[in-house]
Structure 1
Amino acid sequence: MPRTLHYTDGCGTARRSAKKQGLRAAMLAQIRAFAKSPVAVGIFALLILSFLVFGIGDVLGAGAIKDSVVQAGSRSISSLTFKQRFDAFKKQVEQQQNNGQPITAEQAAQAGLDKSLVDQLAYSESFAEMFRKAGIIPSDTLVVSELRKNQAFFDPVTGKFDRPTYQSRLAQAGMTEQQFEGVLRDETAQTHYISGIAAGLVVPRTYLASLAAYAREGRDFSWFTLTPALAGPPVQPTDAQLLAYVKENAATFTKPELRNFTMVRFSPTLVAQNLKVDEAAVQKRFEFERDTLSVPETRSFVQAAQQTELAELREQHAAELQASAEQTRRQIEAVNTLLKDAIEKRSADAAFAVKAGEVSGPVQGSVGLQVLKITKVNPGHQATLDEVRAKIEAEVKKDAATEKVYADVQKYEDARTGGATMAEAAKTLNLETMAAPAPITAQGSDLLGRSLNLPPKMLESVFSLPAGGESDVLDLGQGEYVAVRVDKILPGGLAALDEVRTAATQRYVMAEMGKKLKARADAIEAQVKKGQTMAQAAAAVGAKLETAKGVTREDAGKGEYSNDLMTKVFTAKPGQVMIGEGSQLGYIVAKLDRIQPVAPATVAPMIEAQRDNFRGQLFDDIGFATRNAARDLIKPKVDYNKARTAIGLEALPEPGKAGAGAAPAPPAKTK
């Protein structure tokens, strides 16, 4: 049974000298900066995903839970919690990798998102459970302290932690205080643990030197390019050849399911275009907003605590006065330009009762007697309707249009409830039905890949209805509503030859040209290996022989040096001939002439310049090993089929029942 450490600051509570306290503060500042850097992603990736993206674990439960998708010691992820996290994960994927277009749960599962998420959660829960078993448990005091540093929970006026704001933000995220603080406790423990490792990590100089030498090692090689012209004129394929090519590349030439649809749009923007402005409503709104639209008078003043101090102020220049206030904080309590409503009432009355350059009589303020000297009066301006008419009219139109749209939606829904079709209900309200400009895919684009920028909720409805199906009114936000009808469903499948003839022909010709060039390159490689020089080989095909000196790994992908070529150059031995893909269409025949080791004189400065980066790389490797250690120690169990059923999919067959209770797959190494 391990001893449990309920700590308050991660370093014990013993007294320290002032010097040690200063060192500790500096160290923690460096640690926090390091923890936020890309280098630390390897350690914190799973934790951050769990904390910021997926929500929280069932951190309050103990022991096995029958409904758990993930079980890591005393911690578990239930089906409901997994569903919430999966939805959040899928939404992020849609935004970051699918141009904001929705994907179905089935599509996500086909891409392996469900299984990937299960594995990530298993590792994050194992990591947290490992700390629990080690007895590293932050105290309530430390958790509260960390909580009160989160500015998302601050009151924007007072700039201080505000419990109602805290509770409101958690409610928006669907979390309770206890759940959130449980996650914060996990994060604090793990941050302190990793910080300890980072603070004491010293990278051996030999390791740094090896990395520097590897990065700066150069290559000398000769090369020439085989251009498409060497493949001869393109040969047009027969229909039989083209059809065979299409079938061989079915993934490229398979059409997605397409849908035609019609919609009825309820839009304040469209309605406002045909509305006449009600002058009485304009005048009424202007009167309501007049004070907000006007510019109030403001005054610059010097506020002194005592009359004797004011006498001193009168003898000094304004700039000297302000400098003195900043240095001594003795004479001036405030130098400001303020609205009358923004300062204490009695002081404001006094300030606005005298003219520029004058001094008010003593005023009893909250900090004692005060006197004010007015240094400048900034006149206000009373807004007129003519000045702001365009703004007021636009607001009146928008409000009227919003009210009309809401009324139209109610009447439309009443008509549909009474048995009217979408078209019939729209006709009774003189609303226009609009057909989509082109059949669309589930990603919201046409066959040419052009996005129609449809709202996700609308697109989801279109692909959830059968042919002829009509939706209810969908609330798109911002006062916009729409109803849709699916007119026709065009099933996906392998395209007919005539539909893709042009694209397939172009691809076929390019593929055949590539085969001919590769065959030519292979023949040249064989001749060079038999003794033909690179100059003779280049001359035989009319190519120009080039030489490269001191090329490093950093040059990959630059100019003629494709990644494919550089990979082969840096794995070859001197004298070896190789064929690489060109940076453009074609192939490159190259021969490695010499390996240039890095000059010792350049290693030392490079080590110093890159020390932090190398330290991060080593720390990342340690982090990867730590995650594996947590997995091996806790031995989490996962149920991929429960994960599937949690997101509304059918369970897959389980040969030998290997799915339930299986260990998660190793995570991808973060670099």
Structure 2
Amino acid sequence: MATGKASRTFGWILMGLVMVGLVGFGSTNFGGSGRSIGTVGDTEIDARRYSRELQSELNAFEAQTGQRLTMQQAQAFGVDQQVLARVIAAVALEDETARLGISVGDDHLRARIVDIPAFAGVDGQFDRESYRFALEQSGLTAAGFEQTLRAEVSRQILQAAVTNGIVADDTYVDTLYGFAREARNFTWAEMPVSRLTTALPEPTEDELTAYYDANPSAFTLPETKKITYAWLDPQALVDEIEVDEAQIKALYDERNAQYNQPERRMVERLVFGSDAEAQAAADAIAAGETSFEDLVSARELALSDVDLGDLSKAELGAAADTVFALTEPGIAGPAPSDLGPALFRMNAILSARNTPIDAVRADLNAELAADAARRRVGDMVAELDDLMAGGATLEEISESHNMALEQIDWTADTSDGIAAYEAFREAAAAAVDGDFPEITLMSDGGVFALRVDALEPSRVQEQSEVAEAVLAGWQAGKRLELLADEARGLIPSLEGGESLASLGLTEVIEEGQERDAFVEGTPPAFLTEVFLMETGDWQVVPSVDGVLLVRLDAVVPVDHDGDEAAAIKANFAAQTAQEIAIDIENAFARAIQNKAGIELNRPMINAVNAQFQ
């Protein structure tokens, strides 16, 4: 039964591949059945089959990404070679099935064809006319399709014989599960640099040089572009712009609702079917028998569903007087609403707000001036573009249009000043020495143009250039080294009965930490070190700003028999068995390919590929 279902499913999948992958196949011009792109053993590799698989792969890429690959792109990505390898592997298996005499009978093949939904008529049953039409649309004959399906099913039988029965070894699964789920209990404390008591020695020149040589990345300058730019910032024009009083008044009037608001109430509303139901609910709340929240929950609603926000008296309509009569938060109603009688819960009183124009005049003036400055800059863009196209230099346009002319040493990490703008960073990253400057718009309405004057490649600075940084780095490393020595000096006391807390350190106890856990305040490799320790041992682990003292308290055994463990191991075993089966199948396919021999017709392969140009 299982074999029958698998074969039937396989048949549907195969037909789906045929019907989808062969879109447009009928128009390819490869002539008769004798055209092949090569052989594996005694079996030809049909050119149409390779074309079909290649078409299917391109269609799959387009469906996944929304973009159609050109043949040049497909070849650059190696898609054609992957498809060719897949087809060769399949044909090799079919050649082996023929050699071994593996095949399926006509009755079995007919049953598979009848079960394919693509060949069903309007009644859901196999329809010969639908079968003929589908094959005709795909450029196939019935004989050709049935031969392909028979070969596919036969190959499936051989593949199943090679891979069926493969299971993952229990010892392998248990070992990996134990490694992954093993946990540790440990006690640790941070010993900061501030606890260092040993005096820092003076370094020798040899020690400083050794530190410099060992840490070249710390003293490496990134690739730097020497850039000159002309920048017209709208903010620089604001002081020159006079705003008319009428404009200020118009903007104030436009925002009158924002500056002048009547007294409001924050209100929730629960609507009832009748006045009697609403009154009964109000009486129950007043008697303490229920609450507004309980009434809302009884309707399977959330408070957000009944929240009206803050409303003025006018916005509350017929319920306004009832709600506004409350002098503190509480329940009002029943009162009418546009949806029927309702209870209102008033949660807050918001006083009226009246903001005179004089209070916001400066802000409105600045906003209008900034808008005018941006428009003024925008009006200059076309003129600046024409000047740059005519060969004007940054120096010339900065003088003629009052643009700031500045220089910057730009790297990929620069983000100060004009480099805070994404448009400038993108332009600076793309620019190269010799490019003509272009006017570029900025997010705040400003414009700029830049020129690369020089490119300084990445380089390691000379030790003399970074003498202070070398000294500071050596001192930081030396402090950690001396601190680690002092920490190791505490271990005998700890083994003798002292605790981390008694030594003035903040003791942290961790239990059940697995390998992939993260312990806050520890470096990334901390748990790796802990899992290498023996129970009862103390160890000093370097950290960024100090060292850590840690003792392994216990190795937590792994539960191999629980329900969770059984489920995880079963899933892992199934995945592992599948991966092993794939590896075995691939090895088997390579072996039979080597045994049978492969001959490829490169001109024919190129001809097929040319159909996709």
Shorter-normalised TM range = 0.3 to 0.5
TM-score under structure 2 length normalisation: 0.45
TM-score under structure 1 length normalisation: 0.42
